[in-house]
A and B are shown apart, each in its own frame.
Chain A
Amino acid sequence: MDSPKLVVLDVGHGNCAVLVDGEEAAVIDCAPGSTLHETLEQLQIYEIQYVFLSHVDRDHCAGLTGLLLNGIVRNVYLNPDPRRDSKTWQALRIALKKASDSFGTKIHPRLSTAPPLNLRCGRVDIEVLSPSLDMTMSGVSGEDLQARELTANSMSAVLGLTHDGCRVALFPGDIDEVGLAHLLEAKEIEAKILVFPHHGGKSKTIAGDEFASQLCEAVKPELVLFSIGRERYNNPREEVVRGVKSASPGSHVLCTQLSRSYLINVEVRV
């Protein structure tokens, strides 16, 4: 039997990854455009068991509407964002309703560490490492117990993929320093592959190299992937790469805009 496959797509400035094992498939974040549709066609995926949205910024969620309207998604996991009023968010809610009514798609408006989801896609365990229950109770624009503001980025759902006892990949969405502080307090987050949060962009309150080194010291990645575009933003920022290399000097760094899409065979330990 083929080993599970993980494809980190080149979607420009955004995030999207597809996990497939046998008949089961999961998608983590859905950037806009047609790259995800094309990839699903190439991988001959006609049904997606799980879609996870780390948060509902457009570069992570706008591409889900097309999948929902096609009726190929069985379950969607996301966290509500009550203050959001963008057209992308409205479109997503319309598409969620249509998919639920027309195709029986199940909408799970909660994606947090407790209670544990215990989800599997084929032979791969999908684990939610953040946000914690107390963060989700405050919600986006609320404050944590240390009175730190919780932004949509702080509240990014962090997912880990584990195969055969090894955490192969960590997807931290756009997690910021507040979210990272919570994550580090609560969890062991080592993983072979780190899809670097926020595309290697600026941190809000701490230096980029400090954020990157804190994260990489905890993850101990062998491969760090930056999902970035070719225009507009100048990511990954130099100080972020410096932080990555200081904390994980032996790690490899890949950028999607150079490699187009990155496919790994999950069974092969990188």
Chain B
Amino acid sequence: MIKAKKRIRIAIVDDEPDDAETAKLELSYEGFDGVIISGNRHFYKPEDLAKEIESQADVALCDHRLRPGGLADFDGAELAATLFERSIPAVLITQYYMDSDVSIRRWRRKVPVLMKRADVDPMKVKEGLLRCEAEIGGLPPKDRKPYEALVHVDEVRNESGEKVIDVMVTNWDPHQAVRLPMSLVPQNLHADLSSGMWLLAKVNVGAERPEDLYFEDIRLAPDPDPHDGLA
């Protein structure tokens, strides 16, 4: 769809009007007609904003932090995931890369593309939207396919009032820890979850960057067999 269109209507969702205007101008050089959705309105639910976008645009560029400027009561990652569910390609951008661990990771299964604001240019946005479109169509790129993985819980901790877990995914990179929100773990495991435990999950182990990992279908892993003859 995106490739075939000469002009693509893109919703630019940003609580900073100046940033939105800049993005609109730059994107126009690559065949995008920008529709700015900025701080002059307020949205309480991602579904409401998603409907607004759907009525005006084909695709979206979403800033992650939408609350500071009063645009929404939710984050851009949740909006991008809602758009994904409605088959609308959306690229998520942020200058707060620390958000990728928790508030973005929570929705990352349905957020195919995350870009640093500083890296955003019209060509990359277009490429990102094509990736989203392919994934929505059931053809995810290799770095987005989920595979079974064993996840080691290194630590359970509170960060800024939210419970998070730091984990290691051995069949991705056993030398790099990754943080995720406890909310991704089923409620029935919360009380007993502690460092040293192993979980099973579906993880996109083809991802190159830790911020691109997503986790779904998290379960408790069995213990190793002490009599397996291997130790």
Contacts and interface: CB of A to CB of B under 8 A. Distances in A.
B172 A90 contact: no
A97 B172 contact: no
Contact of A91 (B145, B147, B152, B225): B152
Given A81-B230, A90-B198, A96-B228, A32 B147 contact: no
Contacts, number: 103
B147 A88 contact: no
Given A94-B221, A94-B224, A97-B224, A87 B152 contact: yes
B33 interface: no
B199 to A, nearest CB: 10
B170 A62 contact: yes
A94 B206 contact: no
A69 B198 contact: no
Interface size class of B (residues with CB under 8 A): 20 to 34
The majority secondary structure among interface residues of chain A is helix
Interface residues of A, number: 35
A93 B228 contact: yes
A82 interface: yes
Contact of A32 (B143, B205, B225, B228): B205
A138 interface: no
B142 interface: yes
A66 interface: yes
B231 interface: yes
A205 B225 CA distance: 37
Interface in B200-220: 200, 204-206
Interface stretch (A33-41, A122-130, A167-175): A33-41
A87 B174 contact: yes
Contacts of A58: 170, 174
Interface of A: 32-35, 37-38, 58, 62-66, 69-70, 78, 80-82, 84, 86-88, 90-98, 100-101, 107, 109
